[in-house]
Structure 1
Amino acid sequence: MTESKHIVELAAREIIFYSTHDEQSFFEWIKKIPCVEEYSGRGDTLFLYVKRDMLDEDMLRDLIALFHRYGVDMRQLRKFDDESFSEWFNNPEKYWYRYVFG
């Protein structure tokens, strides 16, 4: 799937899982985020396809938490910094700020 203005591709590279349940939890979490339309893996990379027009604050917070917990490059979440979220998302006092915008 190629990225469009409505679908945003995010890449999770070289994720380390510490147990079978850890890996299961990761995929269960992805499935619970409604804006993640699909995901697929190639090599050591898992691609998440996010429906941009469906993304809300709760879902973005879930993506932030998921990426932070599993060490996924959070800089790619900058794609979601727009007027819908910037008041709280682009806040230097939040734990994710330096990982996303630093």
Structure 2
Amino acid sequence: MIKIDTQPVVYYSQLDEDHFFTWAQEIPCVKSIDQGYLHIDETEIDEEALRDLLALLERYQLSAKSLADLCTPENELWFKDRNKYWYDGIFGNF
């Protein structure tokens, strides 16, 4: 299980906060949200779920470093593309 800390998020309104949690809960690999953490089941990650997680974390300016462990031979070609907006935030210091 991967845990992503959501506590650094700054919400600009109640609706903004509601949208964050609604969006997160709609991603199938997000198993729970509690005590300020998203709990991600890496066995349920597919390309669509990973792209949704990347977008959510980027939108709310959360660290995506923990997603590096989700790189597999099947997704490496697009996931480790140095031209993608997420690359530096995940793989930039490797």
Q: How does 1:75-90 map to 2 (within 5 A)?
A: 75-90=65-80
Query: Identity percentage over the alignment?
Result: 34
CA RMSD of aligned residues (A): 1.1
**What residue number does 2:40 align with?**
50
**What residue number does 2:14 align with?**
20
CA distance in 2, matches of 1:30, 1:17: 14
Residue 13 of structure 1 and its aligned partner are, at CA, apart by 3.1
Contact 2:2 2:66 in 1 (8 A): no
Structure 1 runs (4+) deviating above 6 angstroms are: none
**1:9-51 alpha-carbon deviations (Å, 9 max, x no partner):** 222232100111100000000110011111112xxxx211111
Contact 1:36 1:51 in 2 (8 A): yes
Query: How many residues are matched?
Result: 92
Tell me, which stretches of 5 or more residues in structure 1 are unaligned? 1-6
**What residue number does 2:63 align with?**
73
CA distance in 2, matches of 1:55, 1:98: 21
Tell me, which stretches of 5 or more residues in structure 2 are unaligned? none
Q: Counterpart of 1:60 in structure 2: which amino acid?
A: L
**What residue number does 1:63 align with?**
53
Residue 8 of structure 1 and its aligned partner are, at CA, apart by 1.9
Deviates most, 49-58 or 78-87: 78-87
Higher strand share: 1
Q: Counterpart of 1:22 in structure 2: which amino acid?
A: D
